[in-house]
């Protein structure tokens, strides 16, 4: 194998698609993957979420890192989630250890995101799909669990003609550990958005704000958004 | 359990989402499911396919059967398929036992379709997803294989909060058997579209036309489209 071919193979080996929401988790995943030498293409989704501010963050992060991105509009009007329906309230100050699925659950979200990522990965010869899912603070979403991600990887590999691997490096990390990792990797936190409400400033009361605030506080860091 | 509750449970038991392309296979699957007492909601996708005539057929079939349907526009611009890119030719008169994936392959198509169906099924409390996939004439598409459908069902059940079953009653049938079944079920074949080219009349040369023509001929039936 010549040097050119070797280089091409090596670079193909490190080619990945990343699901980039613009939140803390996906952005930290991006900086981690970049740090590990992966060459990424980003998928950004607008599915009617209230907090579409996160999309601006995702685009900014992609641009800052010179990463090509695709913005996909999803139509899932049947989903009755407080993230997508204005007439359903986002829960504030809720008891977060509840076993019930919160109203912020968007049915099938990561299943749909990963299926698009599979199509893109096969089409551009990428071997990896990165997703920032993690379980500790996952609010009970079934499509953030390791078992689901493993199952989805199997299904995808049966449904396309190439082999891909889904990587979820944050899966066992707490929000505190994710912020600490982000800090180490110089993640520009000012271009990450977490608040479900998507107002001008974070509401500080939704689950997503509360996990973020606690993580920064525990680390003695200042969140540039506050 | 009162009679009303029992009726509700029974009717929920038979609630299904069907992937309806407007082709022979999905339409026959619909008539079969209806014959078996399922109450269906249809998902119809426009993903940039040349043969968008099939969408008119799908809508007509849904309307004829009083079935609610949702038409979803998918954006998968990265897919290099002759079904979606005008600059790639649809293969005509090809040797159909080729092991190579034909240019009509649309990467991730059924993965994406089924992920939307999972989201819809969970949202409307449907327990079944119907897909008209079958293997004999499947042109080598990996996402039409039983193994994939089984894997996808597992992944979906890990990724949503309810249990669903993917039903693919045509999986082992030949095109001839599907047309025979359609005939028995009074499928209005004039409202099914198969030709990949999507012209005014079927081209009679693409894989999809050839399988259809042979099936009707072998059964001594007249295809109303010809």
B13 band by pLDDT with thresholds 50, 70 and 90: confident
B172 band by pLDDT with thresholds 50, 70 and 90: very high
Q: Dump strand ranges (E) for B90-167.
A: 128-130, 165-167
Q: Please answer yes or no on whether B145 and A158 come within 8 Å at the CB atom.
A: yes
| Measured distance CA(B99)–CA(A13) in Å, rounded | 26
Buried b (16+ CB within 10 A) or exposed e, A148-168: bbebbbbbbbbbbeeebebbb
H/E element, A56: helix A53-64
Give the closest residue to B106 by CA, choosing from B205, B21, B41. B21
Chain centroid to CA A72: how far?
14
Residue A181 has pLDDT above 80, yes or no: yes
Q: What is the pLDDT of residue A97?
A: 60
Read off the pLDDT of residues B198-220 as tens digits, 9 standing for 90 and up.
889 999 999 899 999 999 999 99
Residue A1 has pLDDT above 60, yes or no: no
| Measured distance CA(A53)–CA(A196) in Å, rounded | 10
Q: What is the pLDDT of residue B67?
A: 97
The model carries a pTM of: 0.94
Q: What is the pLDDT of residue A137?
A: 59
| C-alpha gyration radius of chain A | 17
Q: A43 or B199: whose pLDDT is higher?
A: A43
Beta bridge pairs of residue B130: B18, B167
Q: What is the pLDDT of residue B8?
A: 60
Whether residue B65 lies within 8 A of chain A, CB to CB, comes out as no
B94, B211 in Cβ contact below 8 A? no
Residue A84 has pLDDT above 80, yes or no: yes
Q: Pick the residue of B47, B70, B115 with the most A CBs within 10 A to test the interface with A by mutation.
A: B115
Read off the pLDDT of residues B77-86 as tens digits, 9 standing for 90 and up.
999 999 999 8
Q: Give B-chain residues touching A142 at CB under 8 angstroms.
A: 158-161
Q: Dump strand ranges (E) for B74-147.
A: 128-130
B123, A131 in Cβ contact below 8 A? no
| Measured distance CA(A18)–CA(A117) in Å, rounded | 8
Q: CA–CA distance from A175 to each of A138, A139, B11, B104 (Å)?
A: 10, 12, 43, 44
Q: Pick the residue of B78, B110, B126, B150 with the most A CBs within 10 A to test the interface with A by mutation.
A: B78
Give me the mean pLDDT over the B134-154 stretch. 88
Q: Please answer yes or no on whether B151 and A148 come within 8 Å at the CB atom.
A: no
Q: What is the mean pLDDT of chain A?
A: 92
H-only helix segments in chain A: 3-13, 24-35, 53-64, 109-124, 146-159, 175-184, 207-218
Residue bearing tokens 């979403």: A141
Q: What are the structural domains of chain B?
A: 3-218 (3.40.50.620)
Whether residue A139 lies within 8 A of chain B, CB to CB, comes out as no
Number of other residues whose CB lies within 10 A of the CB of residue B68: 11
H-only helix segments in A46-145: 53-64, 109-124
The β-bridge relationship of strands B15-19 and A128-130 is unpaired
Model-level ipTM above the cut of 0.90 = yes
Q: What is the pLDDT of residue B44?
A: 98
| Measured distance CA(B154)–CA(A61) in Å, rounded | 34
């Amino acid at each position: 194998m010549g040097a050119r071919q070797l280089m091409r193979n090596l670079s193909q080996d490190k080619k990945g698609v990343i699901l980039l929401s613009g939140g803390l988790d996906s952005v930290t995943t991006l900086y981690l993957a970049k740090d590990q030498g992966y060459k990424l293409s980003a998928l950004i989704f607008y599915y009617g979420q209230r907090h579409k501010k996160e999309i601006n963050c995702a685009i900014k992060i992609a641009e800052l890192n010179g990463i090509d991105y695709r913005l996909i509009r999803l139509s899932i009007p049947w989903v009755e989630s407080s993230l997508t329906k204005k007439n359903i309230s986002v829960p504030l100050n809720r008891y977060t250890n509840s076993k019930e699925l919160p109203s912020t659950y968007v049915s099938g979200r990561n299943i749909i995101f990963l299926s698009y990522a599979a199509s893109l990965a096969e089409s551009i010869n990428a071997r990896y799909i990165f997703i920032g899912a993690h379980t500790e603070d996952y609010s009970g979403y079934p499509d953030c669990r390791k078992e689901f991600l493993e199952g989805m990887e199997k299904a995808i590999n049966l449904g396309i003609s190439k082999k891909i691997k889904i990587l979820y490096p944050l899966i066992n990390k707490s929000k505190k550990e994710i912020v600490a990792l982000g800090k180490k990797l110089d993640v520009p936190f000012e271009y990450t958005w977490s608040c479900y409400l998507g107002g001008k400033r974070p509401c500080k009361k939704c689950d997503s704000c509360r996990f973020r605030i606690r993580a920064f506080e525990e680390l003695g860091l200042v969140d540039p958004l506050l």
